[in-house]
Structure 1
Amino acid sequence: MSIFLSGLSAFPITPANAEGRVNVPALRRLLAPLCMAGVNSIGLLGSTGTYPFLSRAERRRALDAGLEEAGALPIVVGVGALRTDEAVRLAQDAQAAGAAAGLLAPVSYTPLTDDEVYEHFVTVARESGLPLCIYDNPGTTHFRFSLALVGRLSQIPGVIAIKSPSPEAQAASSHLAELRLVVPDGFSLGYSVDWLSIEPMIAGGHCWYSVIGGIFPQIGMSIVRAVENGHFDEARRLNAHLEPLWTLFRKFSSLRVVYACADVMGICSAEPPRPILPLTVGARQQVVDALEEIKLI
């Protein structure tokens, strides 16, 4: 049965050693608070989870541990890969393990055409049977989904949702309205880019795919509940309160900052996979200062 993705989908890092071996106990320590906070789903092996840097075997180890830790909580798992056949195998692994859905990005070295991306999704959906969420992340894939392509993909059996980068606040309502015109009823419209996601959610977006939700789930849930209850001013206030952290996300990238947060919070001391470098001592202190300012430590 297909899942409808809504509320807070929390995206944690995937702690691993220098050889790419997933630290399962550390991953469990990251996931346990998400389950306790009552997030709506866990986004495992997303971009924050550094999925392209991990082997198929390690991605399966992370997924198995995540599913065991999460219990009945749905897990949306990244299944993107350079080759379509590899993405199929990853999606088949996820389906066999019991993931609720796969997050599929058009990862490629050579720029892809709309037709190539369409065939990629058709093949992965058909060969795996795993419900798929379109992952529109042009900052890393250098491919942006047009409205026409989203409309075509939404008609593929098993393609159930899209994770879009949030537009600027003033464009949130129009962006959502344009998407609604091209997808069928029951198709989940969700957003990422934490500091911009509040307005699409207020405008009626279904799901917030959140980096901060993967490390500070209580705050993410507070924002989502405020939106769900129609307390939009409170949701905006909570979002504005996090501006010191959003500033660092924009300055250093959310990935590097959240690795530092996990270390500062004593959850795990993992470093991002090379060639990505951890924050310098000075930048890490800025993270500490921001967390102290917003009273997260």
Structure 2
Amino acid sequence: MFTGLSAFPLTPFKDEKVDMQAFERLVTNLTDAKVDSICAMGSTGLYPYLNRDELFSVAQRTVNLAGDIPVMVGIGSLRTQNVLKNAEAAQKAGVNAVLLAPVSYHPLKESEVLSLYTQVTAELSVPLCVYENPGVTQFTFSDDLYYEISRLPNVAAIKIPGMPFATELGAERLAQLRSIVPKSVAIGVSGDKFGAAGMMAGCDLWLSVLGGLFPKTVMGMIHAAQSQHNEQEYQSVMQSSQHLDGLWELFVRNKGGMRVMATAADILGYCEGSCLPEPLSPLQGEDRRALAQLLEQLQLD
């Protein structure tokens, strides 16, 4: 399941409760597009804001809607015992894989992160994707830690930040990681601005916030990235990504894609008004107007 597009849909809220009707519309959009996999309750899916019952309900609903499309869900939490309970709930819901970031308030040490993954993988019966997101978790995986974690049972993929792919050093970083982790472990790129470059460098999958709302746009970029054979085709793929620079700028100004995608879901009618749990809030003022203009101009699908 760790190939192509892993789409990260929003988990929409209404009156401080998960809006299942809106969520169904979002997931149906992904199943209609025939995405390669769905990651419910990823970072855009707000897993830290859900209790265990909500996590189970969202996971189960995703599995029921997804049909033959594999489903992965985020299980991160501050305490290892709660991660284990989330993993149990996710597996009970019938998911195909779980996504785990080292969530913390106090900065974690490498030994603590290794302990987290060691305990969780020992209790799993489904594959696990390691989620490195230092912009949110304030934790960066060393190569030594990747070596140790990637050899734990059930570890099947790692999700790395896209920043190295901003330059030619991305291909070198990917080759370095390939030499560290077992061949059975897939390597995925995140950070949508760098997703196309990561796929062209040889990443196995693109774990995409944008793909959670506009799957066909991202799938088209993935297909082009994987089929490019010369410099002209390479430049064409990069131009497709650069065409979205206005969106990437909104991502940066609003500390990631979550608020942007929540606002886009409202503008496009998937949700009603603010669909984020407080204190989170959607885009306002000029940023909202800029996003509405971009959506009209880009015609993403």
Is the contact made by 2:55 and 2:89 (CA closer than 8 Å) also made in structure 1? no
- Percent of aligned pairs with the same residue? 40
Aligned partners of 1:141 and 1:81: how far apart in 2? 11
Aligned partners of 1:198 and 1:56: how far apart in 2? 34
Indicate whether 1:205 and 2:192 are aligned: no
Residues 5-47 of structure 1: CA distance to partner in whole angstroms, max 9, x if unpaired?
A: 011111010012243x211111010011111112111111011
- Poorly superposed stretches of 4+, deviation over 6 Å: none
Aligned partners of 1:206 and 1:128: how far apart in 2? 23
* Alpha carbons of structure 1 residues 18 and 138: separation in structure 2 relative to 1, 3 Å: farther
Structure 1 partner of 2:12: 15
Among 278, 281, 288, the residue aligned to 1:284? 288
- AA of the residue aligned to 1:188: A
5 Å-filtered alignment, 1:38-187, equals: 38-168=34-164, 169-170=166-167, 171-187=169-185
Question: Could you list the runs of 5+ residues in structure 1 that have no partner in the other structure?
Answer: none
Q: Tell me the SS of whatever aligns to 2:18.
A: coil
5 Å-filtered alignment, 1:220-231, equals: 220-230=218-228, 231=233
Is the contact made by 1:167 and 1:175 (CA closer than 8 Å) also made in structure 2? no
Q: Tell me the SS of whatever aligns to 1:25.
A: helix
Aligned partners of 2:15 and 2:271: how far apart in 1? 14
Q: Tell me the SS of whatever aligns to 1:186.
A: coil
Among 223, 245, 251, the residue aligned to 2:253? 251
Is the contact made by 1:5 and 1:188 (CA closer than 8 Å) also made in structure 2? yes
Residues 101-127 of structure 1: CA distance to partner in whole angstroms, max 9, x if unpaired?
A: 110011111211111111111111112
Is the contact made by 2:200 and 2:225 (CA closer than 8 Å) also made in structure 1? yes
Aligned partners of 1:295 and 1:14: how far apart in 2? 23
Q: Tell me the SS of whatever aligns to 1:46.
A: coil
Is the contact made by 1:76 and 1:99 (CA closer than 8 Å) also made in structure 2? yes
Q: Tell me the SS of whatever aligns to 2:13.
A: coil
Among 275, 278, 301, the residue aligned to 1:274? 278
Aligned partners of 1:52 and 1:143: how far apart in 2? 16
Among 214, 220, 224, the residue aligned to 2:212? 214
Structure 1 partner of 2:299: 295
Aligned partners of 2:206 and 2:26: how far apart in 1? 19
Higher mean C-alpha deviation, range 112-121 or range 225-234: 225-234
Is the contact made by 2:7 and 2:208 (CA closer than 8 Å) also made in structure 1? yes
- AA of the residue aligned to 2:89: D
Q: Tell me the SS of whatever aligns to 1:228.
A: helix
Is the contact made by 1:14 and 1:49 (CA closer than 8 Å) also made in structure 2? yes
Aligned partners of 2:6 and 2:29: how far apart in 1? 13
Is the contact made by 1:92 and 1:130 (CA closer than 8 Å) also made in structure 2? no
Question: Could you list the runs of 5+ residues in structure 2 that have no partner in the other structure?
Answer: none
Q: Tell me the SS of whatever aligns to 2:30.
A: helix
Aligned partners of 2:64 and 2:207: how far apart in 1? 21
Aligned partners of 2:300 and 2:204: how far apart in 1? 27
TM normalised by structure 1 equals 0.95
After TM superposition, give the deviation of residue 97 of structure 1 in Å: 1.7
Residues 252-274 of structure 1: CA distance to partner in whole angstroms, max 9, x if unpaired?
A: 23111111110111111242221
Is the contact made by 1:101 and 1:132 (CA closer than 8 Å) also made in structure 2? yes
After TM superposition, give the deviation of residue 200 of structure 1 in Å: 1.6
Aligned partners of 1:136 and 1:26: how far apart in 2? 28
After TM superposition, give the deviation of residue 174 of structure 1 in Å: 1.3
Aligned partners of 1:202 and 1:44: how far apart in 2? 25
* Alpha carbons of structure 1 residues 155 and 296: separation in structure 2 relative to 1, 3 Å: closer
Root-mean-square deviation (Å): 1.4
